Amino acid sequence: MRFLINYALIGGTGVEHLELDGKRAQTIQTPYGLVEVEVGSIANQEIAFVKRHGAGHAVPPHLVNYRGNIWAIKELGVKKILATAAVGSLSTEYRLGELVLLDQFLDFTKTRIQTFFEGGTQGVLHVDLTEPYCKDLQKTILTAGKQNEIVVKTDATYVCTEGPRFETPAEIRMFQMLGGHLVGMTSVPEVVLAREQGMCYASIGMVTNEAAGIADHPLTHAEVMDSMKMLSTTVAQLISDSLKLLTPVQHCSCVKGNEELGKF
């Protein structure tokens, strides 16, 4: 028998090395294949840590096993997910080296399955994403930031691209016109699948670069990694401070994410 774990961390580029106390590896069987999860504690809270890109950043954004990862986390009993995401900035409101909570998304992915419910016996679900990222969980992160003098910005619209390539400057100008502030490659469908499973999900964007055409130089993965390294201590602190304040009770409506399943 497994103990239930209330919280999960999905870490992307740069936070793969976050240290958990009493860390042990678990392999979870899911309908989408085996998923490796680290279980241990941060700030005395037991958490499940999923490395989005696998060990050694081996899996590119368009091939991440999003459904497997979310299924495995749900299987462990998780109620609330903290995620991190490397992002490029399209806006002078969000600068290199800042931490920003994602608020809305524009989806420009192309090949990713965005649902657990593919019809037939699984049913069909049109999940509500009026507030894609959990407001309650964001409040906790903001409180933790304030208490510990970590600046966390808000209200960013995230553009999710398919990747793994970076964008063209023309695409970035289009995203700006559409109201995008940040660009990354991983938050969709992760946030959607978490809602389908009734879990709270918030994502801390880590601004690693100015987007293509805004920066005065070509983009490189090395630049993104260097920025992540710079931000990794602060984001680890913010995660730890947030976990100290979290309770497993879900007062929000995220838990009702799939209540319409089977009703039509």
User: Which residues lie near ligand HPA (CB under 6 A)?
Assistant: 86-88, 161, 166-167, 183-185, 208-209, 211, 219, 224
- Minimum CB distance to ligand HPA smaller for 98 or for 167: 167
Closest distance to ligand HPA from the beta carbon of 163 (Å)? 6
Q: Alpha helix locations (H) across 218-257?
A: 221-245
Interatomic CA distance for residues 86 and 81, integer angstroms: 17
Closest distance to ligand HPA from the beta carbon of 179 (Å)? 17
Name the residue whose CB lies closest to ligand HPA. Answer: 88
User: What element of type H or E holds 99?
Assistant: strand 99-108
Interatomic CA distance for residues 29 and 18, integer angstroms: 24
Interatomic CA distance for residues 164 and 166, integer angstroms: 7
Decide: 62 and 160 in contact? Cβ < 8 Å.
no
Decide: 156 and 100 in contact? Cβ < 8 Å.
yes
- Minimum CB distance to ligand HPA smaller for 36 or for 171: 171
Token pair in block for residue 94: 């969000």
Interatomic CA distance for residues 42 and 149, integer angstroms: 19
Closest distance to ligand HPA from the beta carbon of 224 (Å)? 5
Interatomic CA distance for residues 69 and 201, integer angstroms: 13
- Minimum CB distance to ligand HPA smaller for 235 or for 246: 235
Closest distance to ligand HPA from the beta carbon of 166 (Å)? 5
- Minimum CB distance to ligand HPA smaller for 215 or for 252: 215
With H, G, I as helix, E, B as strand and everything else as coil, classify residue 159. Answer: strand
Closest distance to ligand HPA from the beta carbon of 176 (Å)? 13
Interatomic CA distance for residues 162 and 171, integer angstroms: 12
Closest distance to ligand HPA from the beta carbon of 11 (Å)? 14
Closest distance to ligand HPA from the beta carbon of 92 (Å)? 15
The backbone region for 212, taken as left when phi is positive above 0, alpha when psi lies in -120 to 50, beta otherwise, is beta
Decide: 89 and 211 in contact? Cβ < 8 Å.
yes
